[in-house]
């Protein structure tokens, strides 16, 4: 129930549209009822089955008064004109009433359309903003496909849930209540019998749909797993082909797909059961009401035949709302399961906190200092990645981090822009703990070029200008020239307006890397982080990229994670890391003289 009220909170900004939807639904029900009620007395009068009513009846809150008053009005019309003219006018009137009924129904749906579309937009916006704001540690525990499933499939289910709830709480209840009140005026005794039957029917339908929410949640989770497999397949297609693992991936996909098929079959079976089950139960109720009402007319003489016919015609109008009610009930059950998955993301507390009165940060003035820093990812093995790290980097200096994979180099630099938050110790920037600064302003000081070129399926211009407001074409071109990228960009079909494909797959590795360098150049950050920026390139591409990096590093404070040690020989300080600790430190000449870990790494790369 808590999730339901939270989902419905998205309706608040659409109160005016909701009110109009309710108004036109009421008018739809009223004109639907009126068009049905008018038919019986008119046909009775037209075919002279009853005498005309020439005297206006006295007002009373009963069904007999309503019918007698309609008979009075229709008798006046028949008396004023002949029967054929009256029949023609009545047919036009009925057609007009049905036109109004359907017009109001359209208007109700017209005002409902922006509600459903708006709610989907709002939920997706909240989800995306949350996903963008979550730290990297959150995604290390989640499947990408499952997250995509929550943004797409789960949001769609929540949309169906909200629309179904509006129908269950507004349109269908309005129809049922207005029709039941009318039936109560016709025969309180028979209406009470109908209510008992409807309660029994509702109980049976509720029992059938009890497990739908749990099964829907499982199905959405498996759907997310399926999307993850598809994403991994597309990303790793080259490796799949190289290792002839097509059959393995097909079997993995088939296994998950079959599981999803089984669950969806159960869910759809239960959901599709709602309509025929409701119709069958409704017909059973109709038969019972027909029998019981017949006894009231034939045996107890407590109900007029004409009134009973009118009662049954109106009661028949209750069957479609009852069917819709049960279908909506199933949609709500399924939608609440999806809502729970969405709120798990929205409520995720894995976030980088910012102090209430955080300090502004406009420029980098003095130094960066790691003081006794320790860090653990708290994943499956809770292994300590960094242990008692202390480093000071003065402004304008270049510091290189080297060591074997898993030594903690990338983690150490990821802590600086607060991609992860510290576990132990502190990191000072210009004498203040980085946790005291405003997070966006802290991150604005850094430019990053990583081993993997992170590009987007957009134009060259937009990739270089990414995150930079009002970046002119001239500035973008200047940045590309510094990054040795301008020449190859101009050879593209549309130059700077060329689309580079998913993750930049239309470009070579060196070209992609030079675009990321151009992006860093345009940002013009005071602190530069290079994470093995040339390790995956061939010699020719490496030279072009290295030249671009030298231009980029000029006059900046630079932290370099190096795989190829020849690129960092001129660093002011080289930090050698091993098992999360600092094993050696110094410049290239000093470390070579020690004949320790660093020298062995250099000698290994010499072959």
Please report, for the chain, the start and end positions of each structural domain, with discontinuous segments joined by +. 2-346, 367-605
The two structure tokens encoding residue 311: 């009662």
Q: Quick check: helix, strand or coil at residue 367? A: strand
372 Rama class: left (phi>0) / alpha (psi -120 to 50) / beta: left
Residues paired with residue 499 on neighbouring β-strands, in sequence order: 459
539: confidence class by pLDDT, cuts 50, 70, 90: low
The two structure tokens encoding residue 46: 């037209």
Instruction: Report pLDDT for 370.
Output: 92
Structure-model confidence comparison of residues 574 and 381, the more confident one: 574
pLDDT at 154 over 70: yes
The candidate with the shortest Cα–Cα distance to 374, out of 301, 423, 439, 340, is: 423
Structure-model confidence comparison of residues 351 and 402, the more confident one: 402
390: confidence class by pLDDT, cuts 50, 70, 90: very high
364 Rama class: left (phi>0) / alpha (psi -120 to 50) / beta: beta
Q: What is the pTM of this model?
A: 0.69
168: confidence class by pLDDT, cuts 50, 70, 90: low
Instruction: Report pLDDT for 222.
Output: 79
367-376: pLDDT as tens digits: 999 999 998 8
- Which of 165-174, 381-390, 497-506 bottoms out in mean pLDDT, i.e. has the lowest? 165-174
Instruction: Report pLDDT for 371.
Output: 92
Burial class (CB in 10 A: 0-12, 13-18, 19+), 470: exposed
242: confidence class by pLDDT, cuts 50, 70, 90: low
- Which of 159-163, 279-283, 414-418, 522-526 bottoms out in mean pLDDT, i.e. has the lowest? 279-283
CATH architecture, range 367-605: 3-Layer(aba) Sandwich (3.40)
The CA angle 498-499-505, to the nearest 5 degrees, is 120
255-298: pLDDT as tens digits: 888 887 887 787 777 666 666 776 677 777 778 878 887 787 77
DSSP 217-278: HHHHHHHHHHHHHHHHHHHTHHHHHHTT-HHHHHHHHHHHHHHHHHHHHHHHHHHHHHHHHH
The candidate with the shortest Cα–Cα distance to 404, out of 604, 197, 554, 187, is: 604
- Which of 62-66, 71-75, 231-235, 453-457 bottoms out in mean pLDDT, i.e. has the lowest? 62-66
Structure-model confidence comparison of residues 491 and 570, the more confident one: 491
pLDDT at 515 over 80: yes
d(CA 144, CA 229): 9
Q: Quick check: helix, strand or coil at residue 387? A: strand
Tell me how long the chain is: 607
- Which of 162-166, 253-257, 320-324 bottoms out in mean pLDDT, i.e. has the lowest? 320-324
Q: Quick check: helix, strand or coil at residue 165? A: helix
Burial class (CB in 10 A: 0-12, 13-18, 19+), 278: buried
Q: How does the average pLDDT of the chain come out, rounded?
A: 79
Termini Cα distance of the chain: 67
The candidate with the shortest Cα–Cα distance to 221, out of 152, 150, 270, is: 150
CA-atom Rg of the chain in angstroms: 37
d(CA 449, CA 516): 6
pLDDT at 521 over 70: yes
Instruction: Report pLDDT for 199.
Output: 76
Burial class (CB in 10 A: 0-12, 13-18, 19+), 450: middle
Helix, strand, coil share (%) of the chain residues, nearest 5: 65, 10, 25
Structure-model confidence comparison of residues 359 and 80, the more confident one: 359
533: confidence class by pLDDT, cuts 50, 70, 90: low
pLDDT at 380 over 60: no
25: confidence class by pLDDT, cuts 50, 70, 90: confident
Instruction: Report pLDDT for 83.
Output: 66
d(CA 455, CA 505): 9
pLDDT at 209 over 60: no
Give the C-alpha distances (Å, rounded to integers) separating 108 from 13, 136, 380, 390.
Answer: 18, 45, 53, 67
**DSSP state, residue 347:** T
Pick the CATH number of 2-346 from 2.40.50.140, 3.40.50.970, 1.20.1560.10, 1.10.510.10: 1.20.1560.10
Structure-model confidence comparison of residues 81 and 397, the more confident one: 397
Instruction: Report pLDDT for 213.
Output: 55
pLDDT at 453 over 60: yes
d(CA 97, CA 81): 21
């Amino acid at each position: 129930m808590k999730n339901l009220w939270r989902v419905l909170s998205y309706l608040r900004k659409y109160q005016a549209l909701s009110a109009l939807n309710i108004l036109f639904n009421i008018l739809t029900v009223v004109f639907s009822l009126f068009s049905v009620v008018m038919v019986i007395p008119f046909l009775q009068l037209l075919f002279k089955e009853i005498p005309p009513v020439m005297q206006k009846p006295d007002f009373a809150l009963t069904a007999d008064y309503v019918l007698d008053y309609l008979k009075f009005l229709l008798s006046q019309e028949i008396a004023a004109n002949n029967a054929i003219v009256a029949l023609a006018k009545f047919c036009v009137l009925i057609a007009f009433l049905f036109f109004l009924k359907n017009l109001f129904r359209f208007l109700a749906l017209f005002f409902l359309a922006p509600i459903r579309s708006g709610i989907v937009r709002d939920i997706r916006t909240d989800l995306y903003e949350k996903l963008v704001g979550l730290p990297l540690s959150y995604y290390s525990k989640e499947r990408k496909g499952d997250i995509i499933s929550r943004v797409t499939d789960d949001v769609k289910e929540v949309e169906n849930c909200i629309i179904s709830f509006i129908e269950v709480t507004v349109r269908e209840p309005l129809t049922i209540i207005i029709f039941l009140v009318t039936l109560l005026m016709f025969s309180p005794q028979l209406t009470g019998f109908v209510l008992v039957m409807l309660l029994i029917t509702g109980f049976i339908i509720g029992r059938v749909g009890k497990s739908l929410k749990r099964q829907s949640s499982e199905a959405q989770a498996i759907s997310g797993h399926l999307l993850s497999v598809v994403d991994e397949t597309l990303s790793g297609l080259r490796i799949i082909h190289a290792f002839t693992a097509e059959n393995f991936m097909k079997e993995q996909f088939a296994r998950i797909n079959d599981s999803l098929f089984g669950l969806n079959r159960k869910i759809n079976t239960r959901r599709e059961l709602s309509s025929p089950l409701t119709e069958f139960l409704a017909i059973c109720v109709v038969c019972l009401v027909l029998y019981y009402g017949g006894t009231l007319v034939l045996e107890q003489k407590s109900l007029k035949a004409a009134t009973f016919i009118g009662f049954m015609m109106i009661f028949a109008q209750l069957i479609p709302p009852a069917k819709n009610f049960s279908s909506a009930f199933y949609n709500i059950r399924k939608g609440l399961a999806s809502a729970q998955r969405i709120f798990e993301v929205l409520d995720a507390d894995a976030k980088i906190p910012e102090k209430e009165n955080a300090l502004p940060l406009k420029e980098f003035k003095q130094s960066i200092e790691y003081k006794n820093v320790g860090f653990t990812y708290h994943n499956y093995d809770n292994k300590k990645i960094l242990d008692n790290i202390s480093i000071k980097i003065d402004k304008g200096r270049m510091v290189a981090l080297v060591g074997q994979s898993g030594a903690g180099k990338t983690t150490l630099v990821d802590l600086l822009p607060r991609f992860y938050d510290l576990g132990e110790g502190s990191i000072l920037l210009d004498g203040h703990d980085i946790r005291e600064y405003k997070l966006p302003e802290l991150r604005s000081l850094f430019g990053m070029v990583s081993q993997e070129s992170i590009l987007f399926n957009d134009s060259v211009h937009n990739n270089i200008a990414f995150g930079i407001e009002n970046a002119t074409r001239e500035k973008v071109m200047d940045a590309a020239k510094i990054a040795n990228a301008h020449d190859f960009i101009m050879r593209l079909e549309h130059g700077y307006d060329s689309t580079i494909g998913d993750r930049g797959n239309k470009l070579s590795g060196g070209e992609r890397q030079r675009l990321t360098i151009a992006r860093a150049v345009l940002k013009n950050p005071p602190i530069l982080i290079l994470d093995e920026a040339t390790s995956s390139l061939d010699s020719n591409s490496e030279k072009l990229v290295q030249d671009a990096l030298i231009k980029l590093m000029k006059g900046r404070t630079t932290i370099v994670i190096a795989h190829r040690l020849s690129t960092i020989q001129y660093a002011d300080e080289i930090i050698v890391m091993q098992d999360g600790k600092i094993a050696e430190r110094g410049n290239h000449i000093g470390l070579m003289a020690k004949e320790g870990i660093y020298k062995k790494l250099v000698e290994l790369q010499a072959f």
